[in-house]
Structure 1
Amino acid sequence: MVEIIGSAKEDQKMAGDLNQKVEEWLRWDKNPKTRDEIKKLADQNQTKDLEKILMKRVAFGTAGLRGKMAAGYACMNDLVIIQTAQGFLKYLEQNRAAALKAEGLVIGYDGRHNSKRWAQLTTTIFVTAGYKVRLFGDYAITPFIPFSVKKYGCASGVMVTASHNPKDDNGYKVYDCNGAQIVPPCDRMIQNSIMENLEPKDSSWKVEILQNHPLVIDPMKDALDSYLKTVIQDMIHPDYIECNKKVGLTFTYTPLHGTGYMPVEKVVQVVGIKIATVPEQKEPDPDFPTVKFPNPEEGKSSLDLSFKHAALNNSSVILANDPDADRFAVAEKNNKTGEWKIFTGNELGALFGYWTFQTYKKFKPNAPVNKVYMIASTVSSMILKTMAKREGFNFVDTLTGFKWIGNKALQLEKEGFDVILCFEEAIGFMCNSKVTDKDGVSALALFSCLVSQLYGNGQQIVDKLTEIYDYYGFHMSNNSYYFCHEPPKITAIFKRIRNFGGKDKYPSGILNNKYKIVSIRDLTTGYDNSQPGNRAILPVSCQSEMITFVFDNGLFITLRTSGTEPKVKYYSELCMSPDVKDKAVVESTLNEMVAAICQEFFEPDKNGLIPQTR
């Protein structure tokens, strides 16, 4: 067993606690691979490694669970999934009992290593307890899960996926009975329930019982057919379908080795467009062999093969989904220069804002626009807010993440409003209230109709984007991130920012006050000097770092940590009136300010931060 050398009582206690955790793991884990990993580390007296993975636990928080696949309580593995599912079952029995008894829950999985097995382990635990489970019989896109929760009236939904994370990661995403991602205090209640149900039951491992089990239903065909009708066909105006067929564009499409190809192939038949799928990336592959990161948000590094195949197919527009198809990306070749432009999430948000509003008016020409809402997260472009002021509809922003956006959309719908678009700058779009989460497949369907109309009128996407900014004013963003694999350094960076001008004094400006800060909102501490009593009105969480600064020239910048990755992120936007026409000056000012903020506030060289590279 593990030996820790040291005479102090604290060291001896730690040695005893660690030995207890090692013995516990070896007693509970029935997966030979992960069990042997822990045994090998213990036999080799790898104390530090064992402490990292056994003395800490992966926490249930943003998007449920997400982490590296390996042995130990701090990682994703069979035992952690069983403990999670056992605790989640008890939570649902106590808090969603009626729906659980009536319709059980729905479970899906992507093409990553272990995803199917962890979906089966979860299903085993629930059917053993006597509850119905709609387990997708093949790889599913994440949007199918929230859609199915609402369609069937389930108590909850679980999607085993790590979305766009690297190949060594996996995750466990949970939806509430309303079809939206869980929000506090549900996450804390689930975490507490997990901790009260850690010891795995022998029955929890027996996935063989699922074969022909009467409580297991495969909803794939029914859910897909319903999705195509209510999410896609009912969202697309018949005139758009005729335009798609008439213009006859061929789009290059990539699912990035994920689950998107099958549903997208069905969707394009409904909306009347043609796609040429990148063959090397067509089928799910857990190793993502052709990309460094399976995330279209990374830009050219993830779309290289798409560019090549677009040339072969004489295609000017690339449509992409991330591996679980909840995100959507677009690239376009300039017909004059031949250069490719990859649109940012904020640029796509502007285009979706224009197009969903036009679509709404086409379906409901006499409906009052003051009953319409659009939603964006607080780190996303405020272009929708600008549109709302000019067009007469409503806008509201929320905390980062579709768990907040989706639940806000449901609240507004209950109040009698039509929520026609929700978006987040990380290429997440919700264009249909049937799916209360971002949905890259329905976004693809709606956006392709806009492209067909533009190309049919002799325009490109970038031309429409220019028109939007000419009409509403420049909304120019500069967003990126630093990698930081040492959490204490991140904590120190944000502590320094909060005491920049002395104890409890935030920065007053940058570049020797060339640009002055006029307001500060800190959603970690709850401070907001733009609100009465300096108290923030958006929800506050001490579990993550998030500070927004507003400068005297109209720049907004938010500094925050990622909930799922070892990153320090920044999101900036400089919003100008339509009278400002010199884009180069706006861009130069924005870049100067962002560079100064990163250098002065983060001190990246001193703190060993690794900048994003694309």
Structure 2
Amino acid sequence: MDADLNANIGLQGTGDPQLDKAVHQWLRWDRNPWTRAQVEALVGGGALEELRSRLCSRMSFGTAGLRAPMGAGFNRINDLTVIQSTQGLFSYLSRYFPDFGRRGVVVGFDTRGQEASGCSSLRLAKLTAAVVLSRDVPVHLFSSYVPTPYVPYAVKKLQAAAGVMITASHNPKEDNGYKVYWCNGAQISSPHDKEILRSIEEELEPWSVSCWDEEVVEHCPLRTDPLSHINSCYMDELSSLCFHRDLNTRCALKFVHSSFHGVGHVFVQQAFQVFGFAPPIAVPEQRDPDPDFPTVRCPNPEEGASVLELSLLLAEKENARVVVVTDPDADRLAVAENVDGCGWKVFTGNEMAALLGWWMFFNWKETHPDPGDTQNVFMLATTVSSKILQTLARIEGFNYEETLPGFKWIGNRIHELSKTGNRVIFSFEESIGFLCGSMVPEKDGVSCAVVVAEMSSYLYEQKLSLKQQLLNIYQTYGYHMSRTSYVVCNDPPTILKIFARIRNFHGEGSYPETCAGVRIVHVRDVTTGYDSSQPDCKSVLPVSRSGQMITFTLQNGVVATLRTSGTEPKIKFYSELCAAPGNSDVSFLEAELKKVTDALVDDFLEPEKNNLIRRFV
């Protein structure tokens, strides 16, 4: 470490050459007083392990980008790491697109982070723009916060080379993120993600002082503000999902909406207006953006009734029947319904997908009476989500496809299908991520909130609730019951050992043959590319060696998956029983699913033996 730098911070070196080099680089490159002060305090206090944790590793450029706590360090979200990431992204885009200088980049942001911290989403978005503008390339920087889906929508509408959204979605308040979209509007996928990461590692030193100047966006002629244009286009196009406007205008139902202290309020209000509804009643305590998320222990509406308390209380007070809740960046949607005499029903992602899938195809048939039109209609779901759309497709005659977990796979598949004249009318992932239509190749809580309202309004006219219609769907197409949870494992070698045992259960190269005494008829292992249901035993889904994922199909109709989380020390498990139409013995079906799920965890994961922590969600 330089003698001048040592003297400046009162340090004579840590005794660890690698750490000394990392500290030196940080203090030489970082110009943010808040994060510099953090590192200086850690150095002065001799907090060597904390320094190593922050400075001797980097964030992995994972699913579509970066997500981590805000603060000083190469493995945190801050000014320097965002500048480094943007420089790497810029370098790759410059090489990939001959016309990059014309197409430019879209940049959006949510409302995370306090201004005083120096890591607010607004500041990080301006620095992202400043890096691109410093190389004389145009930037379409939104002037105010927007829902995450607005960035991929703008990328397509403006024909930009890429888009960046500064958001950590529903993560804890300490986190922020850097999400990247490709020119087709979908989240980046391989090989672009790996090439961008390589470019980032080659462009770590900030190019110039101007990269730190967030004010450059205020006066640079290459910066444009797409907010008004994109919002107008989005709302105009949203009307294509409205099928019963006359009914909506006289709707007697009341709706409550919470934006969970995020960006959704204004945009959901506008969406309801587009469909002819009165505005939904906003939860006042959660309407306006607040990066501290003061009224919820966790800003994730997927947690269910425990975090929806204020919404449900307001709905009861206002005699509102349906509650819609968008997460902080408004790409996910939770739905609850007050069923007379039965209290609140909070729908799971799989249940809501059954309703929305039915609704979208019902309206498609109404507007496309020619059966031949259905040949080019698709619905998509991730492979760990309910098979309800597969069942609908088999009976109704449209097409269904599965993707790997993550909406980036759905978004890219929508793009591929659209190029061949096909139309995707609904897509979802079980973690309350839905897309009605295909106007945005990303899950979209804003559009789906108003689609749910219209579906509720239509069913109300038919003397039906959402819950009753869900039961009708199950009675017509067969019950699809699911269980989703996880175990925590903080030892990566143990996770590898668990999955190695499953792959060699009865000797080398043999998978389990039964689960809870029920025969396993097919095994698919996308980590290795094996699928026993295929003639060549090769998985139709892409091989994904970055994590572990094995799916078992059982003789009794249960489909169960074990997979590792890409961001947390978890082994997740998903199980679903797909019963035949007419089988309405719900108690028996639930017991059968529980039996298999318990055996899946106990026999295959061996929680006690492997010191796994059970969690149930």
TM-score normalised to structure 1 length = 0.94
* Residue in 1 that maps onto 2:22: 21
What corresponds to 1:115 in structure 2?
121
Tell me the distance in 2 between the aligned counterparts of 1:101 and 1:55.
35
Aligned counterpart in structure 2 of residue 212 of structure 1, from 198, 219, 243: 219
Q: Decide which moves more: 582-591 or 564-573.
A: 564-573
Residues 575-614 of structure 1: pairs in structure 2 closer than 5 A: 575-612=578-615
Greater Cα offset, 440-449 or 41-50: 41-50
Q: Counterpart of 1:39 in structure 2: which amino acid? A: E
Q: Tell me if the contact between 1:327 and 1:439 (Cα under 8 Å) persists in the aligned partners.
A: yes
Match of 2:7 in 1: none
The Cα offsets for residues 163-204 of structure 1, whole Å up to 9 and x where unpaired, read as 111111111111100111111000000000001101112221
CA RMSD of aligned residues (A): 1.9
Quote the residue 1:78 is aligned against: 79
Query: Using the alignment, how far apart are the partners of 1:245 and 1:306 within structure 2?
Result: 24
Q: Is the 8 A contact 1:292 1:301 kept in 2?
A: no
Q: Note if contact 2:56-2:74 (Cα within 8 Å) is conserved in structure 1.
A: yes
Task: Map 1:417-436 onto structure 2 (within 5 A).
Answer: 417-436=422-441
Is the 8 Å Cα contact of residues 251 and 277 (structure 2) preserved in structure 1? no
Deviation at 1:587, TM superposition (A): 0.6
| Candidates 257, 266, 269, aligned match of 1:265 | 269
- Cα offset for 1:363? 2.7
User: Offset of 1:440 from its aligned partner?
Assistant: 0.8
Would you say 1:473 and 2:474 are equivalent positions? no
Residue 30 of structure 1: how far off its partner (Å): 1.4
Is the aligned partner of 1:546 residue 2:549? yes
**C-alpha distance in 2 between matches for 1:154 and 1:355:** 33
Cα deviation code 1:30-87 (max 9, x no counterpart): 1222222223323333332222222221111203111122221122111111110000
2:250 counterpart SS class: helix
What aligned pairs does 1:323-334 form with structure 2 within 5 A after superposition?
323-334=328-339
**CA–CA distance in 1 between the matches of 2:539 and 2:424?**
25
Q: Distance in 1 between matches of 2:106 and 2:228?
A: 14
Cα deviations by residue, 1:327-385 (Å, 9 ceiling, x for unpaired): 11110111122x11111111111111110011212333336211211111111111111
**Which residue does 2:236 correspond to in 1?**
229
For residues 74 and 507 of structure 1, the distance between their equivalents in structure 2, rounded to whole angstroms, comes to 39
Q: Assess if the C-alpha contact under 8 Å between 1:250 and 1:273 holds in 2.
A: no
Gapped runs of 5+ residues in structure 1? Answer: 3-11
For each residue in 1:584-609, what CA deviation from the matched residue of structure 2 results, as whole angstroms up to 9, or x when unmatched?
A: 10011101211221122223344444
Structure 2 counterpart of 1:353, one-letter code: G
Amino acid in the other structure paired with 1:357: F
Task: Encode CA deviations 1:522-547: one digit per residue, 9 max, x unaligned.
Answer: 11222222224432221112211211
Equivalent-residue separation in structure 2 for 1:220 and 1:248 (angstroms): 33
More moved, 215-224 vs 475-484: 475-484
5+ residue gaps, structure 2 = 3-12, 114-119
Which residue in 1 is equivalent to 2:38?
A: 37
Partner letter of residue 555 of structure 2?
A: D
Give the aligned length: 598
Asked if the contact 2:42–2:50 (Cα under 8 Å) also holds between the matched residues in 1, the reply is: yes
Counterpart-to-counterpart distance in 2, 1:212 and 1:199:
25
Q: 1:605 to 1:165 in 2, by over 3 A?
A: farther
Matching residue of 2:101: 101
- Indicate if the aligned counterparts of 2:520 and 2:555 stay in contact, CA closer than 8 A: yes
Query: Counterparts of 1:493 and 1:68 in 2: how far apart (Å)?
Result: 30
**Matched residue type, 1:245:** T
TM-score norm. by structure 2 comes to: 0.93
Rounded Cα–Cα distance in structure 1 between residues aligned with 2:123 and 2:168: 14
- State the partner residue of 1:530: 533
- 3-state DSSP of counterpart to 2:221: coil
For 1:9, the equivalent position in structure 2 comes to none
Q: Identify the residue that residue 248 of structure 2 maps to in structure 1.
A: 244
2:6 alignment partner in structure 1: none
- Percentage identity across paired residues of the two chains: 46
Counterpart Cα distance in 1 of 2:493 and 2:37? 31
1:350 to 350, 354, 374: 354
Against the structure 1 CA distance between its residues 120 and 579, is the aligned structure 2 distance closer, same or farther, given a 3 Å change threshold?
same
Distance 2:532 2:46 in 1: 52
Task: Give, as a single letter, the amino acid of the residue that structure 2 aligns with 1:589.
Answer: E
Cα distance in 2 between the residues matched to 1:252 and 1:150: 32
Q: Is the 8 A contact 2:14 2:48 kept in 1?
A: no
CA distance in 2, matches of 1:225, 1:24: 45
Residue type at the aligned position of 1:402: F
Whether the aligned pair in 2 keeps the contact of 1:62 and 1:564 (CA below 8 Å) is no
Q: What one-letter code is carried by the residue in structure 2 that aligns with 1:127? A: L
Q: Per the alignment, in what secondary structure is the counterpart of residue 400 of structure 1?
A: coil
Output one character per residue of 1:429-460: Cα deviation in whole Å (capped at 9) or x when no partner: 11122211111111112121110011122111
SS at match of 1:94: helix
Q: Would the aligned equivalents of 1:378 and 1:397 in 2 still touch at CA under 8 Å?
A: yes
Alpha-carbon distance, 1:105 to partner: 1.1
The list of structure 1 runs, each at least 4 consecutive aligned residues, that deviate by more than 6 angstroms after superposition, is none
Tell me what 1:148 maps to.
154
Query: How many Å separate the matches in 2 of 1:486 and 1:206?
Result: 42
* Alpha-carbon spacing, 1:176–1:321, altered in 2? closer, same or farther (3 Å): same
Give the Cα separation in 1 of the matches to 2:608 and 2:576. Answer: 24
Give the secondary structure class of the aligned counterpart of 1:368: helix
| 1:490 aligns to 2:491 (yes or no) | no
Give the match's secondary structure for 2:434: strand
Counterpart code for 2:106: V
| Aligned positions of 1:504-523 closer than 5 A | 504-511=509-516, 514-523=517-526
**Contact residue 428 and residue 439 of structure 1 kept, 8 A:** yes
Aligned residue in 2 for 1:171: 177
What residue identity is the alignment partner of 2:163? G
Give the counterpart letter for 2:105 in structure 1.
Answer: L
Worse-superposed segment, 388-397 or 51-60 = 51-60
Secondary structure of the equivalent of 2:186?
A: coil
- Residue 566 of structure 2 is matched in structure 1 by 563
SS of the counterpart of 1:558? Answer: strand
Pick the aligned partner of 1:197 from 174, 197, 203.
203
Show CA shifts across 1:371-424 (max 9, x none). 211111111111111111111111111111111111111111111111111111
Structure-to-structure mapping, 1:406-417, within 5 angstroms: 406-417=411-422
2:308 to 303, 316, 329: 303
In the other structure, the counterpart of 2:368 is 364
| Residues 136 and 219, structure 1, Cα contact 8 Å, conserved in 2 | yes
Structure 1 SS opposite 2:215: helix
Q: Structure 2: how far apart are the matches of 1:103 and 1:437?
A: 21
Please, which moves more after superposition, 528-537 or 408-417? Answer: 528-537
Conserved 8 A contact 2:38-2:72: yes
2:64–2:189 Cα contact (<8 Å) kept: no
CA distance in 2, matches of 1:527, 1:482: 25
CA 1:257/1:484 → structure 2, altered by over 3 Å: closer, same or farther?
A: farther
Q: CA deviation at 1:485?
A: 4.4
Aligned to 2:116: none
Q: Aligned equivalents of 2:185 and 2:242: distance in 1? A: 22
**Distance in 2 of aligned mates of 1:480 and 1:137:** 40
- Structure 1 pair 119–435 and aligned structure 2 pair: CA distance change class (3 A): same
Of the structure 1 ranges 551-560 and 343-352, higher mean CA displacement relative to structure 2 is found in 551-560
Cα offset, 1:503, TM superposition: 4.0
Q: 1:377 aligned to 2:378?
A: no
Q: CA separation of 1:46/1:504 partners in 2, compared to 1, >3 Å: closer, same or farther? A: farther
